Amino acid sequence: MNVDPSPLSHLPGIVAALNLGPGERKPLVKALEGMALALNIPAASVYARQYRDQECFELIEFAHWPVRSLAAGSGVQESWVIGLNELGARDWVRLDTGELLVLPEESGRPEVRLAPVRLDEDLFGLLAFWGRSPMDRGPDFQQFLESCLDLLELWISRENMHHEMQDILRAVPIPTMIEDTKGRITAWNPAMEARTGWKAERILFKGNYIHAVPFYYERRPMASDLMMYPDPEWESVYVEFQRHSQTTSGMSLCPNLPGGPIYFSFDASFCYDINHRLKGVIEFITDVTEEREVRRELRRSESLYRTVTDFAGVGIILFSFSKIIYMNKYVAELLKVPAGSSDIQNLQNLIHPEDYPEVLSQFESLFQAPYNPAQFEFRACPDCGSRHYRGFAGLLDFDEQATIHFIFDDITLQKELAEKARLHELRLYHEDRLTSLGIMAAGIAHELNQPLNTIRVVNDGLKYGMEQNWSLSETELLEELDMISRQVQRMSKVIQNIRDFARGDQAQTLHEVDINQAVENVFSMIGRQLEARGINVHLNLDPNLPRIKANLHRLEQVIMNLLVNARQALQGSARTKKKLWVCTGHQDGVAVFEVGDNATGIPAEIAGNIFDPFVTTKEVGQGTGLGLSISKSIMTELKGDMTFFNNHLNGATFRGTLPVRQK
């Protein structure tokens, strides 16, 4: 072996070997060969400390020259290996301080010189020179050794950086690749392997666009290639392609990826070295097929929602207390503002000033009871026309803030129709009362004729006495005049009751009412007629009956209708002893009145519809069939109820219940 007189002359070759490329052991083996030849020794090794945890490690052979498989022909034995047990704690302390350590020759193994190799501030491992070198006593040996250690530590530092980069890429969950300026892929992380189905070894350090095949079936420029070498024709193939100063982003349809074809988005960025020379491009890809479909569905849903809300015929507003988030076309046209207007003042401009405080109170109540939607009515502001609305409001969470969803519907026409129906109903009530009075006309005439006859008899008697010069004391005269006065009062009461019952003023003001009084008022008008028709009337009125909240005339109309129906039923029956009774009482906070008879009862075929309009048991021309329907409506208005049953005397009993007025 020809030996160079100075080992320093081998340093350029060692440097060239270590610069061959990262990620492989071959450059290091080549460098160890140069060191061994420079020192004229049979072998050189690098050992590394492999840690099992933070404290415990084992010593492994990181690289060796000559290569073990070739060592048999060079005189290097497999036993030329340093074990961890050959170095004690003091040896590691000496190495950690930078001291050179010599292991003596033993058991066929030559002498070994161990030099510490550092990684940053920690001890990485050992550089081992096998055999005694004729150069180790020369002046250049120490300088050569220090240079080799410096070069070795630089190479290990670079390898460590490469290793850390690979760890980072492995940990990145996004498919990632790095391409150098020569078009070669230098990084292809596990996420990229999983997404494409191509292992890194099929791609790494190979050019000619092979990295495009997993995506497109063919070799073609990818985003990273187009970033370094622009090509407008290829860029136009992408669904989206945006170039910026240092980055590129966009979207592509990839037919060859597993589960494809799929859409993926890409983001690429230039990579530079410390001299700001372009080294390549790092590119990230993300499967956006589902996201793109979701966005498409969202756009469709939003379009559908806007179409539905704009043509729903109701106003829809989504707002917080600081701004309007959304209003549909109906509201925008009503307020004559742009549909996207967010000014909360527009909401106040929608509502009549007199109604706004109550509406605002309804909105505020949602925060006290968020699961109870509010329902209310309000008028539109004068500028929006004389309109009435029914509003519904609920609380929901929108964009992480409490938001009110407000829907309102125009009920102006309903209000107008309801008012017309109310007036029509009042006319029906009035006509029903007049009909009842017409039916009872004979009874009313009897009620008035009797006191008139009494007055005529008294008057004729006084007149006759005067003609016959009868003596009449003052006391007798006062008694006769008092009799006339009582009869006048009796007629006046009857006439007043008739006037009240039949008057056109349909005021619905509710007062505290005694049901017994309503019964007595009705009997003052028709009681004599019932007796004249041979009907045995029995009144059983509770003297302690609580008062109710009602309209007296409406209540009288109900009792009148029931008595008229009972009289007509008895008149048409074959009973020889006709009975009619009226009872009042109370129980469980409810006032009760009953009107019963012993006529023929209610036939089973109409029992279920007896309170419907125009349903009647009378012959044609004998009744309208509205009396019971109107009576039922009046009882409902008074928050009461009316029922019936066929009683034990085979007649019908109608029972009315009304809530008792609480003290």
424-659: CATH superfamily? Histidine kinase-like ATPase, C-terminal domain (3.30.565.10)
Residue 303 tokens, joined: 């379009």
Instruction: Return phi, psi of residue 204, to 5°.
Output: -60, 135
Mean pLDDT for 389-418 is 83
For residue range 204-239, list pLDDT tens digits in order: 988 899 999 999 999 999 999 999 999 999 999 999
- Pairing of β 535-540 and β 548-550: unpaired
Q: Which distant-in-sequence residues (6+ apart) come within 8 Å of 54 by Cβ?
A: none
For residue range 151-163, list pLDDT tens digits in order: 999 999 988 888 8
Closest by CA to 225, choosing from 260, 178, 187, 277, is: 178
- Pairing of β 374-379 and β 388-398: antiparallel
The HSE-up count of residue 517 (CA atoms within 13 Å, CB side) is 12
Q: What is the structure's pLDDT at 648? A: 92
Using CA atoms of 425, 430, 435, 438 in order, give the dihedral in degrees to the nearest 10. Answer: 180
pLDDT at 584 over 90: yes
Of 415 and 351, more confident: 351
Question: Whole-model pTM?
Answer: 0.47
User: What is the C-alpha separation between 401 and 427, in angstroms, rounded?
Assistant: 53
Q: 86-90, 500-504, 540-544, 638-642: which range is least confident on average?
A: 500-504
In DSSP notation, 369-433 reads STTS-EEEEEEBPGGG-S-EEEEEEEEEEETTEEEEEEEEEE-HHHHHHHHHHHHHHHHHHHHHH
Q: What is the structure's pLDDT at 71? A: 45
pLDDT at 663 over 70: no
Confidence of residue 450 (pLDDT cuts 50, 70, 90): low
Mean pLDDT for 287-311 is 82
pLDDT at 33 over 70: yes
User: What is the C-alpha separation between 534 and 56, in angstroms, rounded?
Assistant: 123
pLDDT at 620 over 50: no
Q: 101-115, 251-265, 624-638: which range is least confident on average?
A: 624-638
For residue range 54-103, list pLDDT tens digits in order: 788 899 999 999 976 544 444 555 668 888 888 888 999 999 998 999 99
pLDDT at 115 over 90: yes
Q: What is the structure's pLDDT at 655? A: 95
Confidence of residue 401 (pLDDT cuts 50, 70, 90): confident
Q: What is the structure's pLDDT at 499? A: 66
Q: What is the structure's pLDDT at 5? A: 63
In DSSP notation, 648-662 reads TTSSEEEEEEEEBPP
pLDDT at 566 over 80: yes
Mean pLDDT for 267-285 is 92
pLDDT at 427 over 80: no
Cβ count within 10 A of residue 254: 20
Residue 465 tokens, joined: 């006495």
Residue with token string 């190799």: 117
Mean pLDDT for 565-588 is 90
Number of H helices, E strands in the chain: 18, 23
Mean pLDDT for 631-643 is 89
Q: What is the structure's pLDDT at 281? A: 95
CB 265 within 8 A of CB 288: yes
User: What is the C-alpha separation between 410 and 314, in angstroms, rounded?
Assistant: 7
CA angle 323, 327, 328 (to 5 degrees): 175
For residue range 476-521, list pLDDT tens digits in order: 777 777 777 776 776 776 676 666 655 544 455 778 889 999 999 8
Confidence of residue 1 (pLDDT cuts 50, 70, 90): very low
Q: What is the structure's pLDDT at 265? A: 93
User: What is the C-alpha separation between 646 and 652, in angstroms, rounded?
Assistant: 4
Q: What is the structure's pLDDT at 23? A: 63
CA distances in angstroms from 369 to 132, 260, 319, 324, 546, listed in the order given:
92, 50, 18, 22, 38
Closest by CA to 554, choosing from 658, 415, 441, is: 658
For CA atoms 307, 310, 314, 315, give the dihedral sign: positive
User: What is the C-alpha separation between 163 and 22, in angstroms, rounded?
Assistant: 9
Q: Average pLDDT of the chain?
A: 83
Confidence of residue 627 (pLDDT cuts 50, 70, 90): confident
What letter represents residue 503's amino acid? R
Show the beta-strand stretches assigned E in 288-355.
Answer: 315-319, 324-327
Strand order in the sheet with 262-272: 185-188, 176-180, 278-287, 262-272, 247-254, 240-243
Cβ count within 10 A of residue 189: 22
Mean pLDDT for 627-651 is 88
What percentage of the chain carries pLDDT values higher than 70?
86
Q: Looking at domain 294-410, which CATH architecture does it have?
A: 2-Layer Sandwich (3.30)
Q: What is the structure's pLDDT at 538? A: 93
**Domain chopping of the chain, boundaries:** 7-167, 172-287, 294-410, 424-659
Of 329 and 123, more confident: 123
Confidence of residue 457 (pLDDT cuts 50, 70, 90): low
| CATH number among 3.40.640.10, 3.30.450.20, 3.90.79.10, 3.20.10.10, domain 172-287 | 3.30.450.20
Q: What is the structure's pLDDT at 159? A: 87
User: What is the C-alpha separation between 111 and 282, in angstroms, rounded?
Assistant: 49
User: What is the C-alpha separation between 630 and 592, in angstroms, rounded?
Assistant: 19
pLDDT at 242 over 90: yes
Q: 199-203, 482-486, 522-526: which range is least confident on average?
A: 482-486
Question: Residue 511: beta bridge partners?
Answer: 550
User: What is the C-alpha separation between 639 and 659, in angstroms, rounded?
Assistant: 7
Mean pLDDT for 34-46 is 92
For residue range 307-346, list pLDDT tens digits in order: 777 777 788 888 887 888 888 888 887 778 887 788 888 8
Q: What is the structure's pLDDT at 614? A: 65
| CATH number among 3.30.450.40, 3.30.300.280, 3.40.309.10, 3.40.50.300, domain 7-167 | 3.30.450.40
CA distances in angstroms from 547 to 524, 586, 659, listed in the order given:
21, 10, 9
SS3 of the chain: helix, strand, coil, percent, to 5 = 45, 25, 30
Of 312 and 572, more confident: 572
Q: Which distant-in-sequence residues (6+ apart) come within 8 Å of 420 by Cβ?
A: none
Q: Which distant-in-sequence residues (6+ apart) come within 8 Å of 615 by Cβ?
A: 606, 609, 625, 628, 629
Mean pLDDT for 449-473 is 72
Q: Establish whether domains 172-287 and 424-659 are of one fold.
A: no
Q: What is the structure's pLDDT at 325? A: 84
Question: Per-residue b/e over 547-577, b at no fewer than 16 CB within 10 Å?
Answer: bbebbbbbbbbbbbbbbbbbbbbbeebebee
